[in-house]
Copies of this chain bind each other. A is one copy, B any other.
Amino acid sequence: MAKLYHVPLSPFCRKVRLSLAEKKIECELAEERYWEQDPDFLRRNPAGKVPVLKIDGKTMSESTAICEYLEEKYPEPALMPKSADARYEVRRLVSWFDDKFHSEVTSKLLYERVNKKVMGQGFPDSRNVKDGAKAIKYHLDYMAWLLDHRRWLAGDVMTLADFAAAAHLSSLDYISDVDWNRSEVVKDWYAKIKSRPAFRRILADQVSGFPPPAHYADLDF
């Protein structure tokens, strides 16, 4: 069976978990406190971070490379469209969330509020939290603009772009940092993706010291 070394609220791990679950690839989860630099773990992944996936006799790192591999090796159900143009749009949006959204929002809210405490790195920087809370509004508006034109973020079918976005937003929702009242289309999109069987395990996550709010796992939030 495949095995994923992860931390529950990492959006990069969640993107891989969603891909695995959607493709019905059974996978054992192992929490990895990667910041403690366990030598065994560093041997598995010289980059020293999660996710790390053991599958098909290999040990893999880098979430986007892993998701592209899963797509090529386990093509059904597809999380990438067929045409080069449509695939470009999926990859552009995956990068949008994993780079831009991550640096402007996730790292400033989730990492300040949760990771710092879990890793024993002190208190949240209130300036960062303020900047993140401001930036997420602009990103939700961008998503709303996309979803005004499309059924899913990258087009008319659900793709890895939706999973990348949902991975970040679900982690932030765990700490109540997403205002779902800002945009109806974004809320509808999240309700659709949240109700997929692939999402169940993520909604059952629990981080010690950070109980999730009631709406987190509620499909009718």
Copies in the complex: 2
Q: Which of B72, B92, B142 contacts A65 (CB 8 A)?
A: B92
Chain B residues near A60 (CB-CB < 8 A)? 88, 92
Of the four ranges (under 10, 10 to 19, 20 to 34, 35 or more), the interface on chain A belongs to: 20 to 34
Closest to A66 in B: B88
Kindly supply a per-residue 1/0 record for chain A positions 79-92, scoring 1 wherever the CB is within 8 Å of any chain B CB and 0 otherwise: 00000110110011
A96 interface residue per 8 A CB criterion: yes
Does A69 contact B46, Cβ atoms closer than 8 Å? no
A115 interface residue per 8 A CB criterion: no
A64 interface residue per 8 A CB criterion: yes
Please provide the chain A residues from 13 to 70 with a CB less than 8 Å away from any CB of chain B in the complex.
46-47, 58, 60-62, 64-66, 68-69
Chain B residues near A88 (CB-CB < 8 A)? 58, 60, 65-66, 68-69
A127 interface residue per 8 A CB criterion: no
CA distance A172 to B137 in the complex (A): 36
Least Cβ–Cβ distance between A45 and chain B, in angstroms: 10
Chain B residues near A69 (CB-CB < 8 A)? 84-85, 87-88, 91
Beyond the given A58-B88, A68-B87, please list 10 additional residue pairs across the A-B interface where CB-CB is below 8 A: A46-B142, A47-B96, A62-B92, A62-B95, A62-B96, A62-B99, A64-B95, A65-B88, A69-B88, A72-B84
